Structure 1
Amino acid sequence: MREKRRRVPALAAILAAAVTTVAGCGPQAAQAGDSGTGERQTLMTGVLNGAGASFPNPLFQEWIESYGFDQPFATINYQSIGSGGGIQGFIEDTLDFGSSEKYLTDEDLATASLNRDCEAIQFPVVFGSVVIAFHDPAMDGLVLDAETIARIYDRDITRYDDPAIAALNPDRELPDREIVPVHRSDGSGTTYVFTHYLDHEVPMWAQKYSEGSDIEWAEGTVGGDGNEGVTARVINTEGGLGYVNQSYAIRHNLATARVVNASGTPIEPTLEATTIASGVAVIPENFQFDLDDIGGEGYPISGTNWIFAYECGYDDDLAELLRSFWTWAMTSEEADELALELGYAPMAPELKRRVLREIERINSR
């Protein structure tokens, strides 16, 4: 087991400016367990099983490990099976909580609620970018826009030195090399975020492919399971280009594209650019929203991860653990720091307060 992670001073300015932790919203002080912040914590028990999106998996594993340092009698398992699996598992009531980069529709919520005599709950927990990653390190910073990305995945643009790419990169020498587009082969919230962006921006894509967590891809593209599988295919394929969560690109030191946003500005997928994108979102009371028309200095292909739970049906210990873990994720400075280190954007204070009210609904009936 690794030593307990220490706070990272270099991130303090970002934390203070963009994602200040909500104070005073966690569990009440109890008799055992020291959080490392001077507060005493209730010791939780039980085994909590969740599954779904691969998009937040690196972060969720870090959160689970860090939370577990102060909760030795609690076990939290999270399986990276894709957003489609997270939605299906939750709707079929085989999970304690589900996770997805695609929110549950009203129909999904109604279907899930049939499992128990109460409402299903969903709330966002983190924002992140979907980046265009390359096999070749020399491609780092290549400028692409929605139109060229759509045409690459349509196999209309098949080479890196295509005139459309050259027009976006006039001062760059482009290789005479075939592009091999890599996509998710499983039901995926990352695919939903990516195809929603193209559907919103490119009429051709909207007419031919639309948006979804699993679409019919053009011949000549290749698939990989999960963000992990797409990352591996990009790394191991000459000419490979794929869409992955930013944390996977960071972890594997992949070259990434700058993507032209709604203001016409090529934007590098940095944490700051993701935070700006998340800040423009208008988030309704039911938490059903997409991040569209991102301009300024915001990165345009950004998404959200949602957690799904129920208002009833858990035993008391499991419900307490479920509320405690997600409350910790929303209120702990360490949780925010871990998110920042991995390239995710924690949520702003007011949105966190709204999410905490949803978390309190778990097993409230």
Structure 2
Amino acid sequence: MGIMSRFLAAPVLAALVGFGIAGVAPAADISGAGATFPYPVYAKWADSYKKETGTGLNYQSIGSGGGIKQIKAKTVTFGASDAPLKEEELKQDALVQWPMIMGGAVPAINVPGLNPGELTLDGPTLARIYLGEITKWNDPAIAALNKGVKLPSTAIAVVYRSDGSGTNFLFTNYLSKVSKDFDGKVGAAASVQWPTGIGAKGNEGVANMVKQTAGAIGYVEYAYVKQNHMNYAGLINAAGKKVQPEAKSFQAAAANADWAHTPGYAVILTNQPGAESWPITGASFILMREKVEDPAAAAEALKFFDWAYKKGGKEAEALDYVPMPASVADMVRKTWAEHIKDANGKPVHAG
């Protein structure tokens, strides 16, 4: 299945039947719901894990907001969200949160005469494009960043995500960090009011609109760009270095983040320090309850996530996701042992 059809079909399929056959899943199966972005890798992990252990995973790919609602309502063993909850909300609902997998957003472009990665943008210039202030590809601000590159006078067609999403949150969070003007006029959220451009639904919608529109720019998940051989722009990161979207630049962003001192691991991996860091990197998070009503189900879920950290890296990379660094996985295991417990206060995961 191609990447487009894979992402198009995944949420519908997962919402209906999970990773097994509806109605016949064994009682030991793990239940979860939430973000659509990590669905393909969770599905792949679930398939391998079931072959190895016999335990299945039923994951409803219904969006981050839905996953948060379901874990708060105690209807699933875990929830998944691309935007981490803040410390206050975690405490209020007695939830434990950790990062499971990483990806990122990439400026996808359709500019005649340019090869993938040949064009370079920086954050402030990208923000001005999305504010409608830069309207031609040969604008002096873009030309100054691309000396020696022949830029056409083609009009820029801005494309944005019309639906609320973790990708929207990631992109607007980055632009808000690098542009006070963008922060004041648009701000960072899963859904915002864009001052200019054409809206399209989902990563597939934005990708298709960019491909069909001469002069277009959109922001699309890394996997879409790579597997569909889309044209894209490189970026200048917080260290002032030109970087390309690739596994090592996503890993660099994660490695330079201060996971240990951030409550709930709620690190937003945008504009991280480091010479190799891709500036629009993001993690997808798992949420579980501190005090679990079904210790056996919680233990099975944590065994699965532990397995994924240890053995799921190659499968994640094959699908163009970026595994969490081992140092972060080790911190997360300690968090499980300290904070996820049964009614008697006993940890449900041995560590």
Check if 1:99 corresponds to 2:76: no
Residues in 1 aligned to 2:127 and 2:66: alpha-carbon distance in whole angstroms: 26
Aligned residues: CA RMSD = 2.5
Aligned residue in 2 for 1:77: 59
Q: Counterpart in 1 of 2:237?
A: 261
Residue 183 of structure 1 and its aligned partner are, at CA, apart by: 2.1
Q: Distance in 2 between matches of 1:50 and 1:236?
A: 36
How many residue pairs align between the two structures?
313
Q: 1:73 to 1:122 in 2, by over 3 A?
A: closer
Matched, 1:320 2:299: yes
Q: 1:280: how far off?
A: 0.7
Task: Report the AA paired with residue 140 of structure 1.
Answer: P
- In 1, are the aligned partners of 2:77 and 2:298 still within 8 Å (CA)? no
Mark the CA change 1:268 to 1:288 in structure 2 (over 3 Å): closer, same or farther: same
Contact kept? 2:120, 2:242, Cα under 8 Å: yes
Paired letter, 2:178: E
* Distance in 2 (alpha carbons) for counterparts of 1:359 and 1:228: 35
Alpha-carbon distance change, 241 to 82 in structure 1, aligned in 2, over 3 angstroms: farther
After TM superposition, the structure 1 = structure 2 runs for residues 1-365 of structure 1, keeping only pairs within 5 Å, are 45-79=27-61, 81-111=62-92, 113=93, 119-135=94-110, 138-141=114-117, 142-225=119-202, 227-283=203-259, 284=261, 286=263, 287-291=265-269, 292-332=271-311, 335-360=312-337, 361-365=339-343
Between the aligned partners of 1:101 and 1:75, the Cα distance in structure 2 is: 19
Report if the CA contact (8 A) 1:155-1:218 is conserved: yes
Give the secondary structure class of the aligned counterpart of 1:127: strand
Contact (CA 8 Å) 2:293, 2:342: kept in 1 or not? Answer: no
TM-score (norm 2): 0.80
How far apart in 1 are the matches of 2:281 and 2:303? 28
Q: Does 1 or 2 have the higher relative contact order (CA < 8 Å, sep 6+)?
A: 1
**The 10-residue stretch of structure 1 (316-325 or 166-175) with the greater mean CA deviation from structure 2:** 316-325
2-side partners of 1:73 and 1:60: how far apart? Answer: 14
Pairwise CA distance, 1:68: 2.4
Aligned equivalents of 1:174, 1:89: Cα separation in 2: 49
The aligned counterpart of 1:6 is none
Q: Are the counterparts in 2 of residues 99 and 305 from structure 1 also a CA contact under 8 Å?
A: yes
Question: What is the CA distance between 1:91 and its match in structure 2?
Answer: 3.3
Deviation at 1:316, TM superposition (A): 4.6
Q: Is the 8 A contact 2:50 2:56 kept in 1?
A: yes
Structure 1 residues 232 and 49, CA, compared in 2 at 3 Å: closer, same or farther?
farther
Q: Which moved more, 1:196-205 or 1:283-292?
A: 283-292
* Alpha-carbon distance in 2 for matches of 1:342, 1:73: 22
d(CA) in 1 for partners of 2:75, 2:195: 34
Whichever residue aligns with residue 213 of structure 2, its letter is T
% identical equivalent positions: 34
Label 1:285 to 1:273 Cα distance change in 2 as closer, same or farther (>3 A): closer
Are the structure 2 counterparts of residues 182 and 49 from structure 1 closer, same or farther at C-alpha, using a change threshold of 3 Å? Answer: farther
Q: Is the 8 A contact 1:52 1:83 kept in 2?
A: yes
> Is the 8 Å Cα contact of residues 45 and 321 (structure 1) preserved in structure 2?
no
- Report the 3-state secondary structure (helix = DSSP H, G, I; strand = E; otherwise coil) of the residue aligned with 2:299: helix
Alpha-carbon distance in structure 2 between the residues aligned to 1:150 and 1:93: 40
